[in-house]
A and B are shown apart, each in its own frame.
Chain A
Amino acid sequence: MRVLLVDDEEELVATLAERLEMRGITACWVTNHRAALEAVDRERFDIALLDVRLPEMNGLDLKRLIEAKQPTMKFIFLTGHGSEEDFNACSAESGREYYLIKPVQIDVLTAKLHEICAEQGDRQ
């Protein structure tokens, strides 16, 4: 499984990537939308974990740009707010099950990544 992590907090995203790698998940991390789009141009990912509130471009808009490049990719939105506004916006995009609030427990995240990947496999 290959996962793209996008969050403007470098320490958060780098540590999360290292912990996912320890669990056998290949994780690439970036801290802004430009680097995310470059990564998607360079390699294929199964799932992207996107911060809802990125600098310069929000996670929902970034999702649409990534989707145009890799239509089969799945998305999990990550937010620090847990506000109704964020929740509704992300629910409309991905379904409520793909919306996680920081801080995320690694076991919950890992289980969700495997679940999404399995669903993808079933469909293909």
Chain B
Amino acid sequence: MNGSHGKVDTLGLDYFGRMTASISHEIKNGLAIINENAGLLGDLVALTDKGRPLDPARLETIAENIRRRVQHADDIVRRLNQFAHSVSGPVTTVTLREIVESTVALAHRIAAMKGIAFTFSQDDTIKVETIPFILQNMVWICLKNIFQRHDSDTNLTLDFAFQEIETDVVIVMNFSHEIDTAATKAAISEEGKPIILFLKAQIYNDQTNRTIQLRMPKKFID
């Protein structure tokens, strides 16, 4: 990206910062759980001095909990590494589902905090030529504004579907519950304006069918 795309760069930095903060929180939680399990092992061993025998099954459970958490932390770090490398990635052909899934995976903790779950409709073959990091950033801006307008007292499922229309591709976001799609679309359009222009994309909303759609050319136009 060159200087003429400064606003896109700024949004990208903001996105990168937000995601790394969220991921570091997940890693910290994992470390805290490993720390407590290791501490519990120590406590149980210490209790043998007071005559309480060690229960092998209990020890195995704790060891398994530690192994599971280490595996989870490893998955998180791998995701972070992929994300970090994607920032400077070139124009590439990817499936829309890959882009959305990786964005959702990074944002899943934030979504869970708001009581939001994700599902994917079947078509995962539709491809787009794009700069993956920038399109991910656009999907994140959509998610962030949806999160902000969702009342966390109710659970919301956000289903993603993908379409190909003539020379364009579309990411369709279907909501399981009523949300103000017009206000959400307006907020996404405002915040994501530089990226929308960069990707030559358009945003639509349909209140009756509870959808927001992000439509863009399937071939990247520089």
Taking Cβ atoms with an 8 Å cutoff, the residues of A that contact B are 8-9, 11-12, 15-16, 18-19, 22, 53-57, 80-81, 83, 102-104, 106
B43, B65, B153: the one contacting A11 at CB < 8 Å is B65
A22, A53, A104: the one contacting B47 at CB < 8 Å is A22
Report Cα–Cα, A106/B43, bound state, in Å.
10
B114 at the interface (CB under 8 A from A): yes
B54 at the interface (CB under 8 A from A): no
Could you list 29 A-B pairs, sorted by A, with CB under 8 Å? Answer: A9-B29, A9-B32, A11-B37, A11-B65, A12-B29, A12-B32, A15-B36, A15-B37, A18-B40, A22-B43, A54-B113, A55-B112, A55-B113, A55-B152, A56-B113, A56-B114, A56-B115, A57-B152, A80-B24, A80-B25, A80-B29, A80-B32, A81-B21, A102-B29, A102-B32, A103-B28, A103-B34, A103-B36, A104-B35
Report Cα–Cα, A116/B32, bound state, in Å.
23
CB neighbours (8 Å) of A55 from chain B are: 112-115, 152
Report Cα–Cα, A103/B33, bound state, in Å.
8
B187 at the interface (CB under 8 A from A): no
The A-contacting residues of B in range 6-50, CB under 8 angstroms, are 21, 24-25, 28-29, 31-37, 39-40, 43, 47
Report Cα–Cα, A15/B37, bound state, in Å.
7
Report Cα–Cα, A57/B113, bound state, in Å.
9
Report Cα–Cα, A22/B45, bound state, in Å.
12
List the B residue with the shortest CB-CB distance to A106. Answer: B39
Task: Say yes or no: B28 contacts A80, CB within 8 Å.
Answer: yes
Taking Cβ atoms with an 8 Å cutoff, the residues of B that contact A are 21, 24-25, 28-29, 31-37, 39-40, 43, 47, 65, 69, 112-115, 152-153
- Take A53-B25, A81-B21 as given contacts and tell me if A103 and B32 are in contact as well, using a CB distance cutoff of 8 Å: yes
CB neighbours (8 Å) of B40 from chain A are: 15, 18-19
Main DSSP-derived SS at the A contact region? loop
Report Cα–Cα, A83/B65, bound state, in Å.
28
Report Cα–Cα, A81/B31, bound state, in Å.
12
List the B residue with the shortest CB-CB distance to A34. Answer: B153
B25, B31, B33, B47: the one contacting A15 at CB < 8 Å is B33
Task: Say yes or no: A56 contacts B153, CB within 8 Å.
Answer: yes
Q: A9-B33, A102-B28 are in contact. List 17 more A-B contacts (CB 8 A).
A: A11-B37, A12-B29, A16-B36, A19-B40, A54-B113, A55-B115, A55-B152, A56-B113, A56-B114, A56-B115, A80-B25, A80-B29, A80-B32, A81-B28, A102-B29, A103-B31, A106-B39
CB neighbours (8 Å) of A12 from chain B are: 29, 32-33, 36
Report Cα–Cα, A54/B114, bound state, in Å.
10
CB neighbours (8 Å) of A19 from chain B are: 36, 39-40, 43
In the assembled complex, the CB of A12 is this many whole angstroms from the nearest CB of chain B, namely: 5
In the assembled complex, the CB of B74 is this many whole angstroms from the nearest CB of chain A, namely: 17
